């Protein structure tokens, strides 16, 4: 009985870890990815909030079009109306949009302010884009840590220990993920290499998307609430391999982050192999249930 209970508990933990502790695009997905930061929670709320305005307005316009098409068609209304204006209607269709825009503007301004106002950060990472990969540099660390992050090729999966397509999806997995501790406010400096083109650093589950412009330093921030592997992509058309420039952020516990950071300063491949070996454990919650196109 105890063994059966333990097995059932383990399966339940794996199920919820798959659904809630990592995210990536899913087949036939129409909603946002699950929110993993406070900003993304606000974005999700604002999306649902705006639907309470968009849906009624769309249905009202559709109903008016149907009424006009049926009631005022030539066969039942051979003599068209010569009405030039209606004061009540004109007041209504002026005031109503103003009120709707007012109720949309206030929460949208609050959301923009939360996105653009960088809070006191626990750590800073610089992300530099080039055609077609990302370079990450940790600032203020005891030892310098910087590395390139390329799309993981199918032939390199076995050597990297990333053969699980569900956990490391094709065309989204990378050779070196950005490693971040959970619950820490991370300031991200985003730019592109000189003489390169404009890219964009985007992570849907975190609610961030900011341009990487050559010669310009932009900044954004996030605070990951849950451990796991999260995937994004360059979201600015940047050339022939634009579709093969993924972003992978691995959120881990603070202890694992400190251990990785210390090892990465002298042995970057070994540091990643240690994390990959731990990724399959239920406590890490990295595995995801869905898969992307193969």
Instruction: Assign residue 80 the CATH number of its domain.
Output: 1.10.287.90
- Clarify whether residues 127 and 163 are in a common domain: yes
**How confident is residue 280, by pLDDT bands cut at 50, 70 and 90?**
low
Could you list the beta-strand ranges (E) of the chain: 123-130, 133-139, 145-149, 178-181, 185-192, 199-203, 208-212, 218-223, 228-234, 246-252
Q: In this structure, what are the phi and psi dihedrals at residue 237, rounded to the nearest 5 degrees? A: -55, 120
Query: Parallel, antiparallel, or unpaired: how do β-strands 145-149 and 199-203 relate?
Result: unpaired
Q: What is the pLDDT of residue 22?
A: 64
Q: What is the pLDDT of residue 52?
A: 95
Cβ atoms 149, 174 nearer than 8 A: yes
Q: Is the pLDDT of residue 111 over 80?
A: yes
Domain around 88 = 38-116
Give the integer Cα–Cα distance in Å for 283 and 217: 37
Query: Alpha-carbon Rg of the chain, whole angstroms?
Result: 25
Instruction: Assign residue 157 the CATH number of its domain.
Output: 2.60.40.420
Give the integer Cα–Cα distance in Å for 64 and 72: 11
Identify the top-confidence range among 9-18, 67-76, 88-97: 88-97
**How confident is residue 7, by pLDDT bands cut at 50, 70 and 90?**
very low
- Clarify whether residues 195 and 216 are in a common domain: yes
- Clarify whether residues 149 and 256 are in a common domain: yes
Does residue 249 lie within any of the structural domains?
yes
Point out the domain boundary residue: 116, 144, 172.
Answer: 116
Point out the domain boundary residue: 60, 92, 116.
Answer: 116
- Clarify whether residues 43 and 189 are in a common domain: no
Does residue 242 lie within any of the structural domains?
yes
This prediction has a pTM of 0.80
Give the tens place of pLDDT for each residue, 42-64: 999 999 999 999 999 999 999 99
- Clarify whether residues 92 and 235 are in a common domain: no
Number of structural domains the chain divides into: 2
Point out the domain boundary residue: 56, 82, 116.
Answer: 116
Q: Is 209 exposed, middle or buried (0-12, 13-18, 19+ CB in 10 A)?
A: middle
Q: Is the pLDDT of residue 184 over 60?
A: yes
**How confident is residue 21, by pLDDT bands cut at 50, 70 and 90?**
low
Does residue 217 lie within any of the structural domains?
yes
Mean pLDDT of 169-193: 94
């Amino acid at each position: 009985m105890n063994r059966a209970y333990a097995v059932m508990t383990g399966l339940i933990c794996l199920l919820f870890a798959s659904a809630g502790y990592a995210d990536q695009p899913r087949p036939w997905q129409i909603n946002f990815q699950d929110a993993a930061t406070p900003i993304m929670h606000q974005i999700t709320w604002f999306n649902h909030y705006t639907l309470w305005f968009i849906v009624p307005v769309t249905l009202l316009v559709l109903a008016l079009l149907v009424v006009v098409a049926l009631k005022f068609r030539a066969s039942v209304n051979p003599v068209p109306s010569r009405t030039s204006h209606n004061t009540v209607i004109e007041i209504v269709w002026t005031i109503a949009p103003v009120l709707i825009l007012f109720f949309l503007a206030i929460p949208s301004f609050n959301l923009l302010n939360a996105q653009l106002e960088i809070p006191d950060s626990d750590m800073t990472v610089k992300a530099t884009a080039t055609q077609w990969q990302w370079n990450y540099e940790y600032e203020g660390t005891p030892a310098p840590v910087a590395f390139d992050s390329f799309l993981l090729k199918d032939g390199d999966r076995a050597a990297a220990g990333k053969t699980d397509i569900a956990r490391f999806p094709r065309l989204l997995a990378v050779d070196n993920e950005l490693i971040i501790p959970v619950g820490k406010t991370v300031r991200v400096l985003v730019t592109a290499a000189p003489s390169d083109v404009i890219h964009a650093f985007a992570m849907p589950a975190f609610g961030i998307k900011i341009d990487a412009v050559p010669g310009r330093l932009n900044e954004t921030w996030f605070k990951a609430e849950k451990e796991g592997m999260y995937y994004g992509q360059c979201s600015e058309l940047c050339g022939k391999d634009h579709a093969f420039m993924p972003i992978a952020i691995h959120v881990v516990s603070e202890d694992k982050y400190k251990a990785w950071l210390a090892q990465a300063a002298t042995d970057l491949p070994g540091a990643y192999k240690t994390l990959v070996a731990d990724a399959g454990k239920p406590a890490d919650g990295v595995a995801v249930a869905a898969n992307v196109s193969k």
